Structure 1
């Protein structure tokens, strides 16, 4: 018997990632789409051979739906994901898990109450280059990590969004919350936690709406560029740049500097992972090209989510992981706004 899934929200992330990956998964045999714009859900159902729900309650009430992807815009995650969990569904929530710590904790509490799986789509953990890099760091063959730098930038959500216009919800403060920080930055914060097996505890940052304008030609309400300095619990120092104004090509690279050498990830077109030893010796790994907005490859997220349900395993990205990254992004935004160094509260991370 195959798994029946529901998807809430039929924007680009559903069209490009969730729907095609559910369709390709051998254990999924039916998808039900819900969007407040019925024409959008009907278009997805036609494209991927699924059904349409007229209301979100229909998804919650359907006893055959085992799992739900919450692909709504950021400000709705705490409503839909919480209700889906409390309706007895496993949930894959898009990132960021929510716009506030309190809302994230509501979702985590719902997960605990329901006993269902909650996974959050921090998809950088799933690339082979990042997994290999984590292995090499953990092995200690490069010695301790000392410093790092990372970047994530492309030409902006209006080139990616479903309606390809400057009216995109990503540009609205009440909906996207953190601008490029919540869109691209949070991915890299989660990646750093994963790669380094560490946690960011102090941040400083600068932000700006340098170039993007909305549908009225006004500067957008959220940042299109964000640069930050980061300190981890284990004392590593690093910096990060997140941008919606990298107009020539996407940058999704990370460099980790260790005692015995350097690791470059997604820095070279041919070799997705390069290790340069202190001696000058180079070890090149050809793994797989990273997903970009122009090159949609399978992310592995849906397969991992379905496997967690099927095999009753802990999801690769838990709600706690997502809350940890959210706290850092909130701290970065606060640092940029107040021009102060902000310490991230970590005591309450393990939400009971």
Structure 2
């Protein structure tokens, strides 16, 4: 038995990720699109054979819609996701959950009040290489994790966003709030928490707008680069770099240094996970290409979201976990 889903916000993330993945899921009958710009929602409704809600209220009051993806811009998540939960819908919210921890906590209250499921789109957890890495860490195959370094960078949202221009909302302080930190950084903070079964508790960071300019040719109001040193609750030490100015290939790599060897994730395009053991042996896993802005493959997020609704399971990425990552981003920006 299928049901309908709604999507709030009809930009690139909806067109390339959410809509096609809902269409491919056997439980989903139809997608209902809402955007403040009705032409955008009409375009996607045509492309994916769905229909349009002219007002947000129409989407939220539609009894055929069981679940909603909130793909609005960052500053609107706490409004849209809260309304959707209180309207009795399960919600998959794009990251970051909100622009501040305080707003995010209000969303969690709405989730508890509604009894509905809230999941965050931290899609890095779902890749085969990261799943395999977690299994190796959990089984202590290389002993304990000691240190780590992670990076996420590409040439910037203006090359991927719906308008393909530097007028993108990602560059606006009042809409994006956290720049590259909330766009790319939060993914890797969540990933480190997930892989290490740990939480970052201390942060030293530098951030700045080094190269990007807005449509007026002025430096952007949010950071385009972050470099940080991190310490976890369990005492692990690491570094993290996030960038919108990697003007070459996208870099989404992570290295985990353990007592008995090193784990390299997404360093080599042919072997997505490489284990270099202390005894000199090397194991290469050829698992899958990671999804990039140029290589759109299924993230597995939508299937996991629908699965937790259909089988009444706890979402694989919870609101509390999202707040833990958001707290780190807040600390990075406060430095």
Match of 1:13 in 2: 13
CA distance in 2, matches of 1:41, 1:31: 11
SS in 2 for 1:264: strand
Structure 1 alignment gaps of length 5 or more: 336-352
CA distance in 1, matches of 2:88, 2:40: 26
SS in 1 for 2:109: helix
User: What displacement does 1:101 show?
Assistant: 1.1
Aligned length, in residue pairs: 335
CA distance in 2, matches of 1:12, 1:174: 20
Q: Could you list the structure 1 runs, at least 4 aligned residues long, displaced by more than 2 angstroms after superposition.
A: none
- Answer yes or no: is 1:80 the counterpart of 2:80: yes
CA distance in 1, matches of 2:70, 2:283: 40
After superposition, where does 1:1-352 map in structure 2 within 5 Å?
1-335=1-335
Give per-residue Cα distances to partners, 1:133-174, cap 9 Å, x unaligned: 001001011011000000000000000100000000000011
Question: Cα RMSD between the aligned structures?
Answer: 0.5
Match of 1:346 in 2: none
Give per-residue Cα distances to partners, 1:203-240, cap 9 Å, x unaligned: 00001111100000000001100000000000000000
CA distance in 1, matches of 2:333, 2:30: 40
Give per-residue Cα distances to partners, 1:15-56, cap 9 Å, x unaligned: 000000000111101100000000000000000000000000
CA distance in 1, matches of 2:168, 2:210: 17
CA distance in 2, matches of 1:101, 1:201: 15
SS in 1 for 2:130: helix
User: What displacement does 1:3 show?
Assistant: 1.5
